[in-house]
A and B are shown apart, each in its own frame.
Chain A
Amino acid sequence: MESLLEQSSLILQQLVNGITLGGVYALIAVGYTMVYGVIQLINFAHGEIYMLGAFLTFTMVTTLHLPFFVAILLTIMLCACFGIILDFVAYRPLRKAPRLAALITAIGMSLFLQNLALLIWGSQIKSYPREVLPAIFSKAAFSLGDVFISWIQVFILSVTVIAMFMLHIIIHKTKVGTAMRAVSQDKTTAALMGIAVNRVISFTFAIGSAMGAMAGIMVGLYYNAIFPHMGYMAGVKAFAAAVLGGIGSVPGAMLGGGVLGIAEVLGAGYLSSEYRDGISYAVMILVILFKPAGLIGKPLTEKV
């Protein structure tokens, strides 16, 4: 009986771990999927925006001694600007070029930003000293028997849910959201209808990057490990999540993030921690094999 209780609290704790991780993946995946939906570009530099988010907050809090929540807001705004600049510098000049060219530029920007971070912050893992963080973060929020949920986990989940909800409102209830949907369906027609296509694309980059930055800030706090290459792994995972959910679909990215996070944690917890990443990618491949458009993606029909 007791072992049954232990087993169930083990599963519950793993689910909590998995959902937190999944929430983070979902936030990053949304950035991939939005940009893809609008300009059919896989923005490989998105993971680096996430990394910059983590580093900027870290620097503002530890070196500039800004209050914590001010630093978070500033970072999100800065990263949104970075997203716009990224599009302006690297992708806009190639809008009419073959898609492969923009993809290569995206990879180039990713490497550039990674190495820039290496130059600025060095290669060692950075951690927040305990005294600069709000005390509440290191405390457990509540525990059900053996299941521990920390405030930072609660924080991550609530931020994710609120951000997703706001994103939904923006896309479906606002003018700019309508414009985004129009551009994603047909750029030329949208332009003919009087939509400033480039401005809508900039807005998409800003929103996506802000989401990525939020994820970076929270991961920096959650694991307390910030390093220049953190964006690479997270970016690849989130990209997998976006594909798993159906690239181009925002609810798909959320679902994909959740599925991937939980699969990864349960795989590490129950199958083999040595093949943890392999397990999560295997889940993605299996889904894609049976549903090539992803969980929620619309099947693509080739126009003749």
Chain B
Amino acid sequence: MKRIFCLMLALTMIAGIAWAETITIPVASPYTGQLASFGEGVKNGALLKAEEINAAGGINGKQLEISLEDELCDPKEAATVATKIANNPKIGIVVGHLCSSATLAALPIYRDAKLPAITPASTNVSIGKMSPYYFRDVYRDDFQGLFLAQYAHQIKGYKKVAVFYEVNDYSMGLMLAFMKEAKKLGIKILGTEAYTSDTSDFKPQLTKFKMMKPDAIFIPGYAPQGTLIVSQAVGLGLKTEFFGADGLDDDLMTKNPDAEGLFVTTPFLPDKAGPEAESFIKAYNKKHGKDPNWFAANTYDAVGIAAQAIEHVGLDREKIRNYLASIDSKEKAYVGVTGKTYFDENGDCLKSAFIKVIKDGKWVGAEKQLR
């Protein structure tokens, strides 16, 4: 008994020492579930950045450890995960979440715990305004929707568009932003229809769209449903074009031959990225055998920003928040692989968007980009 006790004591001491020498940044995202492939990019980006930081000596001599927190893109799970993170006094900043609905569920928990958070991927407009502790290194949906509407109008020349959205914060916010700008530009919105993430039958709505004869259908949702929608539309003899936003930016879409020609917005495009992204793309390719997607790039930068904050002010939550808030101009910006990141008074940032399109079963940057 005594021996076991001694062993346990020794183990806790070793663990204690190891704990003292590492700094943990939780990265919350779906790693399993329908959107697991988005989470894979998040994970790869976060781990690559941590590896590079540790190879360069860590954060002020301490090793950086990434703890991957799985929340399945489910608001309920996100709240549970957020509570666990917020109650850990050794955490100074969190990176996440991915889905806007998950971020909005976690947001009040981080706010009440005064824990700063930076999301690499949630684009819903209201996030920044709701909490002084939330930051993001990705554009907002009001920008993305406007950008898409302009692209649809100027480059594609669409006159009549139908919108097929999912019932969640990301999709609905994006739809409203798109429609607002589309109406200004004179694009006629023929109709909007909704679906939920647990259905795989989209035919009743698509049948309705078919009678409207739209030039294109806008799908502001996620790829697992997007690929089904496109295929079922073809099955119904619906001849139209499709486009979506960064939620469709996944290899699931390219595997579907019916999705040929579909275009999406994305915050990061390897062949359009600046020189600062070169070594990142090379390192990522070496490790995973493919180009990084935008989830990987944005998370890579988000972890970089979080690490830089800890390096400057330590693990004090309030100080980290104030440090992030002080990155408020181009000159003070964090220069990462997705360009310069600096925050406005809401913690939001200005980032450019790109259009990519499926050509011969592969994502490629669109020839014509909006500048």
Residues of the A chain whose Cβ atoms lie less than 8 Å from the Cβ of B37: 124
Q: Which of B204-218 contact A (CB under 8 A)?
A: 204-205, 207-208, 210-211
Contact A223–B201 (Cβ < 8 Å): yes
Among A10, A18, A219, A225, point to the contact of B208 (Cβ < 8 A).
A10
CB distance from A123 to the nearest CB of B (A): 5
Residues of chain A contacted by B270 (CB below 8 angstroms): none
Q: Cβ of B255: which chain A residues have Cβ within 8 Å of it? A: 127, 129
Could you say which residues of chain A place their CB within 8 Å of the CB of B16?
A: none
Q: Are A269 and B204 in contact (CB under 8 A)?
A: yes
Contact A229 B204 (CB under 8 A): no
Could you say which of A84-92, A140-148, A209-217, A296-304 contacts chain B? Answer: A140-148
Contact A269 B207 (CB under 8 A): yes
Q: Tell me, yes or no, whether B57 is within 8 Å of chain A by CB.
A: no
Determine the distance from Cα of A265 to Cα of B199 in the docked complex, in whole angstroms.
12
Q: Whole-angstrom distance between the alpha carbons of A273 and B164 in the complex?
A: 10
* Residue contact A269 to B210, C-beta cutoff 8 Å: no
As a 0/1 sequence over residues 125 to 167 of chain A, the CB contacts with chain B under 8 angstroms (1 = contact) are 1010110000000101001001010100000000000000000
Residues on A with beta carbons closer than 8 Å to the beta carbon of B235: 138, 140, 148, 150
Inter-subunit contact B205/A124 (CB<8 Å):
no
How far does the alpha carbon of A225 sit from the alpha carbon of B34 in the complex, in Å? 11
**Complex Cα–Cα for A90 and B198 (A):** 28
Q: How far is the CA of A219 from the CA of B198 in the complex (A)?
A: 14
Q: Find residues 6-26 in chain A having any chain B CB closer than 8 Å to their own CB.
A: 6, 9-10, 13-14, 17-18, 21
The answer to whether B236 touches A227, judged by C-beta atoms less than 8 angstroms apart, is: no
Question: What A residues does B232 contact at CB under 8 A?
Answer: 223
Contact of B207 among A10, A143, A223, A276 (CB under 8 A): A10
B residues 184-227 near A (Cβ < 8 Å) are 193-196, 198-201, 203-205, 207-208, 210-211, 224, 227
A residues lining the B interface (CB < 8 Å): 6, 9-10, 13-14, 17-18, 21, 122-125, 127, 129-130, 138, 140, 143, 146, 148, 150, 219, 223-225, 227, 229-230, 233, 264-266, 268-269, 272-274, 276-277
Binding site for A on B (CB under 8 A): 32-34, 36-37, 167, 193-196, 198-201, 203-205, 207-208, 210-211, 224, 227-228, 231-232, 235-237, 255-257
- Can you spell out 21 A-B residue pairs with CB atoms less than 8 angstroms apart? A6-B211, A10-B211, A13-B207, A13-B210, A13-B236, A17-B204, A18-B204, A123-B32, A123-B36, A124-B34, A124-B37, A125-B228, A130-B257, A146-B210, A225-B200, A229-B198, A233-B199, A273-B204, A274-B194, A276-B196, A277-B199
A-B pairs with lowest CB-CB distance, top 4: A274-B194, A268-B204, A225-B200, A223-B200
